[in-house]
Amino acid sequence: MTTDSLFEQLKHPNPHLRERAMWELAETRDANTINRLVDVLGDEDVVFRRAAVKALGIIGIDAVPPLVVSLLNSDNVTVRGSAAKALAQVAVNYPDVSFPLEGLQGLKTAMSDPNPVVHIASVMALGEIGSPAFEILLEGLQTTDNPALQVTIINALVSSGDERSIEILTALTNDKSVDPYVSESATSALSRIDLVNKYKRN
């Protein structure tokens, strides 16, 4: 299949055909494939857009630099949010590959994006990256005064699976100066961490 027809397949209603096209694009990509996929991140067609996000995640580390550029510089909030989601997909697909510093720094900057769609997607991506993103998440937790963002960071700390999260969350549950919504979230996050760790031990 030609690259053009594979891009058309990314819009197909059948998820299996979309999935096959994603893998084929990743395997047969040329110098333009990544940029073409990045161009789809603002598309009106949600199916097409999500397929591009996943395809970029399958391509992996090579997609990180152009995704960071879109995350930080696009005027389109959909593009910025989709770029953060694609970075999360890279982390999910390549857990054993060390995540590029450029990607970590880009997501750290995007945590201050004025749009909640973007800063929440960026925090969730950092949670998927795990321990390498721990310090960034911790700093975000300590410097933001936005309770909704703090709660998202708490959940990302749980996802990160980093043992150091337990101490941070315990401190939040005991801190009377913290927003009650945040401290309740920390309490429920602690019980989830226990479950996650038990599950891992078993």
Rounded distance between C-alpha atoms, residue 120 and residue 151, angstroms: 10
Give yes or no: residues 112 and 148 share one domain.
no
Rounded distance between C-alpha atoms, residue 157 and residue 124, angstroms: 9
Give yes or no: residues 3 and 102 share one domain.
yes
CATH of the domain at 125: 1.25.10.10
Query: Residue 36's pLDDT is what?
Result: 97
Query: Residue 201's pLDDT is what?
Result: 64
Query: Residue 50's pLDDT is what?
Result: 97
What pLDDT digit, counting tens, does each position of 155-180 carry?
999 988 888 999 999 999 988 899 99
What parts of the chain have a pLDDT lower than 70? Answer: 196-202
| Burial class for 94, CB neighbours closer than 10 Å (0-12, 13-18, 19+) | middle
Query: Residue 195's pLDDT is what?
Result: 75
Among positive and negative, which fits the CA dihedral 121, 94, 191, 179?
negative
What pLDDT digit, counting tens, does each position of 131-153 carry?
999 999 999 999 998 999 999 99
Rounded distance between C-alpha atoms, residue 196 and residue 202, angstroms: 10
The pTM (predicted TM-score) of the whole model is 0.92
Rounded distance between C-alpha atoms, residue 132 and residue 161, angstroms: 11
Q: Is 177 helix (H, G, I), strand (E, B) or coil?
A: coil
Domain that holds residue 100: 1-129
CATH of the domain at 178: 1.25.10
Q: Which of 90, 105, 129 is the last residue of a domain?
A: 129
